[in-house]
Structure 1
Amino acid sequence: MLVELFAVMAPVLAGAGLGFFWVRLGYPYPIEFVTRLVFNIGTPALVLASLAGASIDAHTFGKTMLAAALVISLMGVASFGVARLLRRDWKVLIAPMMYPNTGNMGLPVVLYAFGSAGFVYGITVMVTVSLFQFTIGAMLSSRGNPLKTLVKTPTVYAILISMALMLTDTALPGWIANTVDLMSGFTVPLMLITLGVSLASIRVDNLRSGLGFSLVRIPLAAATAWLVAELLNLPALAQMILVLQMCMPVAVFNYLFAQRAQREPVYVASLVFCSTLLALFYLPALLAFMM
């Protein structure tokens, strides 16, 4: 299992490593331009390409989405206590607390562990996290009018269109599907390379703090997801997927939001880095317990 999990995580480590060594070798990297490109073009295309063709019934989608929304909200509330514990600004920690990497890491792990039956629930959790991240997350990271920022966030519209297509079992026209599939291809690599660029300037004290944050967040997320699933009486498979997805490492997008808002992006990068490395150890244990 560790070999298969490493195969999922190897591209993450390779992409970040490329960015790390790129700037260490003295080459320039336009972080602001890349961030704008990823947010305004790459991410909406990735959402449409990933979700528009997914097939899921409305009842399953709605109930699992509600559970995921409750977990995200409770983790947001818990971030105030964690911020006091770690002596950090809650505005820096609230996004990493709420938004795990349910997409490019969570979905492959779910598919490997639980097959197509579990993948449906994994997609639903990912949609919910993305919807929160690109509405509330975009507003919190805004340095201007948050409502104006929300209206001007293309990913919000991509999520809404994808949800409508999923629930009505409607496919994108071929020319649009091919276009968004092509344009989505640069998104994750650029996200990871940009993360590595920030990691090149990381400090040791942030590594210690990043490990401490992960050791607090992971069990808290697991317990919260399990409790919410119990209260909503989710099917056993949906409950396992919800717990697994909410225990994923901190999403790379949190770093991009921190970079855009200039809220300790190097520290947030350490949270992404440390939680991703720890996932090599705790995810196999969590999967072994579930399976």
Structure 2
Amino acid sequence: MLLRIVSILFPLFAIAGVGFLVGRRARPDLSQANKLNMDVFVPALVFGALANKSFHITQYLPLLGATCVAVVGSGLLAWGVARLAGISPRTFVPPMMFNNCGNLGLPLAVLAFGEQALAPAVVMFMVSNLAHFTFGAWLLDHHARLSSVWRVPSVLATVAGLAVGIAGIEIWAPAMLAIKMLGDISIPLMLFALGVRISESRIGALGLGVFGAVARPVIGLVLSALLVWLVPLPPQERALLVVFGALPPAVLNYMFAERYQQEPDKVASMVLIGNVLAVAFLPLALAMVL
């Protein structure tokens, strides 16, 4: 079991580790590469998974609902913890709600459960991503224009992929292959960029960083364990939901905090330490489901 968990996680941390080393030595500017990933490669990955003729959204409705409850429930529990601990909810709640289901979640799903796990993993990513660009933005700025969410490429790709899948349109095979090849670029690039981002980050609030880094997977795992008991899901989707709960805070939380000037140094600490501590929490989640 230990060898299997190590073999699953090693490629993730190896690629992120290479990114970290390159980031330390060369300090590359990945701003354009990250923009291409978010604007082209990730949308291609999402569209390819949802527009696939074998994908039927109706079969994932229970998983979609469970993911919504996991995201919202994490936010509610985090709000309570923040009030008790005297932490600003606007600083603490988003990193607890929105986990790294893109950079880590998608590649981990494929490595742990095979290519057939990509579609349900994309459904979970879709829920979290849409909630982050709507409720997450509103939480940080009540005057944020939520209509701009429809200009986010990954959201557009989600809508387009669902429309094609529901309509039963079969896309020309060579075109789907091209879309899949573009999508395949996204996962290693996300992992590499995560390593570079960690190498550039600085820990400004160590105590809150450790507290948030531990609270995120603990809250997620508790909720996931409750949901897999309450919601009838296939074995693979139950496993994915548990792993989803153990994921660390998303790097996007730091970008949002910086954009809206909501204590970005504290959010950066939670994100950085959380992704480092994933070395401990992800093996625990995999041991629970494998």
The reply on whether 1:7 has 2:11 as its aligned counterpart is yes
Matched-pair identity in %: 26
The residue identity in structure 2 corresponding to 1:77 is L
Please say which of residues 232-241 and 114-123 is displaced more in the overlay: 114-123
Report the Cα distance in structure 2 between the residues aligned to 1:126 and 1:103, rounded to whole angstroms: 6
Question: 1:212 Cα shift?
Answer: 1.6
The reply on whether 1:200 has 2:200 as its aligned counterpart is yes
State the Cα deviation string for residues 33-67 of structure 1 (Å, max 9, x = none). Answer: 77766655565445335543373333321111011
The reply on whether 1:234 has 2:242 as its aligned counterpart is no
Aligned equivalent of 1:62: 61
Distance 1:112 1:177, change over 3 A: closer
Distance 1:261 1:196, change over 3 A: farther
Aligned equivalent of 2:98: 99
The reply on whether 1:212 has 2:211 as its aligned counterpart is yes
Is contact 2:98–2:250 with CA below 8 Å preserved after alignment? yes
Question: 1:162 Cα shift?
Answer: 1.9
Distance 1:170 1:102, change over 3 A: farther
State the Cα deviation string for residues 168-209 of structure 1 (Å, max 9, x = none). Answer: 454555558737854884797478648745753513x53442
Q: Which runs of 5 or more residues in structure 2 are unaligned?
A: none
Report the Cα distance in structure 2 between the residues aligned to 1:111 and 1:187, rounded to whole angstroms: 10
Q: What is the SS of the residue equivalent to 1:56?
A: coil
- The aligned length equals 285
The reply on whether 1:133 has 2:132 as its aligned counterpart is yes
Report the Cα distance in structure 2 between the residues aligned to 1:190 and 1:114, rounded to whole angstroms: 19
Aligned equivalent of 2:148: 149
Report the Cα distance in structure 2 between the residues aligned to 1:241 and 1:187, rounded to whole angstroms: 17
Distance 1:2 1:46, change over 3 A: same
TM-score, normalized by length of structure 2?
0.79
Q: What is the SS of the residue equivalent to 1:105?
A: helix
Question: 1:69 Cα shift?
Answer: 0.7
Aligned equivalent of 1:74: 73
TM-score, normalized by length of structure 1?
0.78
State the Cα deviation string for residues 11-34 of structure 1 (Å, max 9, x = none). Answer: 2233344345445xxx8x596x77
Is contact 1:34–1:190 with CA below 8 Å preserved after alignment? no
Q: Which runs of 5 or more residues in structure 1 are unaligned?
A: none
Mapping of 1:1-291 within 5 angstroms?
Answer: 1-23=5-27, 29=29, 43-49=42-48, 51-53=50-52, 55-116=54-115, 118-140=117-139, 145-172=144-171, 174=174, 178=178, 182=182, 185=185, 189=189, 193=193, 196=196, 200=200, 202-203=202-203, 205-291=204-290
Is contact 1:198–1:269 with CA below 8 Å preserved after alignment? no
Is contact 2:224–2:245 with CA below 8 Å preserved after alignment? yes
Distance 1:57 1:213, change over 3 A: same
RMSD: 3.5
